[in-house]
Amino acid sequence: MSQVENARVLKNGALIAFPTETVYGLGADAGNEKAVGRIYQVKGRPQDHPLILHIASINEITYWASSVREYALALAREFWPGPMTLIVKRSENAKDFVTGGQDTVGLRVPDHALALELLKECKKIGVHAIAAPSANRFGHVSPTTAAAVREEIGTYLSEQDLILDGGAAQVGLESTIIDCTGDAPQILRPGAITQPMIEKCTGMHINENSVSDIRVSGSLEKHYSPNAQVLLDVQATSGQGFIAPADIATPPGAIRLASPRTTDEFAQILYAALRDGDSQGLTTIAVIQPSGDGIAIAIRDRLMRASKGR
């Protein structure tokens, strides 16, 4: 099917799992309460957990936002399309069923050709955004391929719902979420758009110790978890899964799940490696985390939550 046809399917109330550069999302027309409600059902997601709205371009911000600070626009101009979600004050078009009852809404323009084409066709027929969390059961490992989506939620989808295959996600971790409602930006979830990048773009200092009461995706203590128990920064023993940088040898008897050569590659393959451990029936996966800044911060954030279990 073409993206024109897929857009019509979405407008008619079906769900579409689609690729982005971060992970695969499970999308519905952001203005259709019944369709959005099905996202929560398929995922088993708490109703007060807000959704990120994927939009076709920066021009759609004003439809969903009542006010946007200048530094937020600077970030959008610099990093969209890209792995960044901006939290702004919502307009009357952003209803409680996508905001989790909050007075804010999360917006992003994904950097994936298929997603952008779908969003462009949606806009033509009056769908101003696709509400889309990751296409997995709530708290589980996010999918980075269409096959992982099918494996994770295929049995929960209806005949009308679609899974679009756009290849493996290039970033592999969910978007950076930035609170843009205050006098300066605040990172609520780390990702590929890092603190130094944000500060350079805005000319503002981010207060790392400030606390926000805004609920956002992926902020719970337990999240991104496989069936297996995840152990951090310990050597695997015989029979355990093992994920570590390529220059770290596999302990005797351990089952190597991934050997990333760079931090970017670590992010790309992490979720697939955790899923591989589950598919092999492993009960424990030991991970040697990458050190340093950049996307390594986001990797450690996801692994910390994964290690808490479901």
28-79 tens-digit pLDDT:
999 999 999 999 999 999 888 999 999 999 999 999 999 999 999 999 999 9
The class that CATH gives domain 229-306 is alpha beta
pTM (2 decimals)?
0.96
Q: DSSP per residue over 292-304, as a string?
A: SSTHHHHHHHHHH
Once rounded to an integer, what is the mean pLDDT over residues 223-245? 95
Cite the residue boundaries of each domain of the chain with CATH code 3.90.870.10. Answer: 3-202
**One-letter amino acid of 273:** A
Low-confidence winner among 147-151, 220-224, 261-265, 305-309 (lowest mean pLDDT): 220-224
Q: How many CA atoms lie within 13 A of 111 on its CB side?
A: 19
**One-letter amino acid of 90:** R
Cite the residue boundaries of each domain of the chain with CATH code 3.40.50.11030. Answer: 229-306
| pLDDT at res. 212 | 79
Fold that domain 3-202 belongs to in CATH: DHBP synthase (3.90.870)
Residue 184: count of CB within 10 angstroms of its CB: 17
